[in-house]
């Protein structure tokens, strides 16, 4: 088993060997390559559609967007040096209601999503020293693995990609895919 120090050394080597590392990270945050554009997935969705619950799907689009915002905000706060409370259960990172209370609440969540993505992309464009900075654990589960700014931004990409895919699938099931800007339909 590799020590944390050995892993960190290898992480640095991997990060510095390709100039596309942070460029690719920014592209994936914004929906390039195999990743769909996360903003396009929600920008044209109505509050009514966002709150629709489909059989066999555990969450609505509203709940998934709220969850994405919750975890991006959580991770970005940790990166800024804050210690946000870690939820006791995953269901605390989803809203209880399947739908926003109105169109304004939905649009505020979409705008917040755009802000959090922009902040994540700005971090991804940071200098190597800033990306290699350790982010202190704020919960016992964080201490099990090394966390750098770069590792946390990659985690945001992976988490967003997973749930954005769920949103795209829900939209397809509702007959509202692809978004006006296009999207893979095969």
Contacts of 78 (CB under 8 A, 6+ apart): 84, 135, 138, 147, 152
Tell me if 20 is assigned to some domain: no
Q: Is 9 within the bounds of a domain?
A: no
94 within domain boundaries: yes
DSSP state of 51: T
Domain region containing 108: 29-174
pLDDT at 59: 98
Structural domains of the chain, count: 1
Residue 24, pLDDT score: 83
pLDDT digit string, tens, across residues 33-89: 777 899 999 999 999 999 999 999 999 999 999 999 999 999 999 999 999 999 999
Nearest to 113 by CA among 26, 8, 14, 30: 30
| Mean pLDDT, the chain, integer | 87
- Residue 183 in any domain: the answer is no
- Give the pLDDT confidence of 107-117 residue by residue, as tens digits: 999 999 999 99
CATH code where residue 153 lies:
1.20.120.450
Q: Is residue 8 part of a domain?
A: no
- 97 within some domain: yes
Within a domain: 53: yes
């Amino acid at each position: 088993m590799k020590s944390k120090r050995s892993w960190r050394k290898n992480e640095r080597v991997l990060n510095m060997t390709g100039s596309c590392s942070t460029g690719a990270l920014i592209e994936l945050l914004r929906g390039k390559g195999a990743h769909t554009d996360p903003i396009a997935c929600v920008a044209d969705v109505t509050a009514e559609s966002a709150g629709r619950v489909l059989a066999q799907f555990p969450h609505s689009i509203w709940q998934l967007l709220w969850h994405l915002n919750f975890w991006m905000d959580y991770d970005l706060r940790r990166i800024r040096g804050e210690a946000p409370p870690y939820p006791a259960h995953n269901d605390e990172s989803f809203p209880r209601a399947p739908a926003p209370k109105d169109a304004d609440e939905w649009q505020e969540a979409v705008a917040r999503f755009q802000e959090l993505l922009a902040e994540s992309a700005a971090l991804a464009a940071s200098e190597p020293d800033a990306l290699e900075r350790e982010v202190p654990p704020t919960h016992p589960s964080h201490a099990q693995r090394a966390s750098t700014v770069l590792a946390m931004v990659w985690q945001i990409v992976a988490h967003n990609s997973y749930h954005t895919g769920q949103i795209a699938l829900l939209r397809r099931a509702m007959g509202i895919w692809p978004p006006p800007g296009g999207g893979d339909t095969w």
